[in-house]
Amino acid sequence: MNSPIFLVGLGGVLGSIVRYLIAILFNSSPLATVIINLSGCFLIGAISSLIALYFPLNQSYRLFLITGILGSFTTFSTFGLEGFNFLKHGYHAEAFFYIGVQVFIGISMVYLGEVLVRKLIVAM
């Protein structure tokens, strides 16, 4: 079966299992997250380059490996690739904006989500 949804789904299953196993290996500590995110960044750089060099017209590899496996393994790898592409193509201001928004506002959104949930629970 070569449907895009099947390829992404199959890759997603595999990526999430590997993520879970690494989390177990490191007792679900923040170190597991760092290892997952940084290895995901390395892998998305390596795999996207291999696909571009050796399989440039085969979207199936990209869907299965990058969108599926790495997409479920860590979305941080996609963030890393997109940030890198801005820099690589000389869009420095856009890169710093893109990175800054996601890091600082992302952390702020985690805080906001926690505060809102705690307030809603207390209000009940």
Q: State the pLDDT at residue 1.
A: 65
Its pTM stands at 0.76
Per DSSP, 69 falls in state I
Which region holds residue 29: left if phi is over 0, alpha if psi is between -120 and 50, else beta?
A: beta
Q: Enumerate residues 6+ apart whose C-beta is below 8 A from 92.
A: 86
- At 63-107, the pLDDT tens digits run 999 999 999 999 888 889 999 999 999 999 999 999 999 999 989
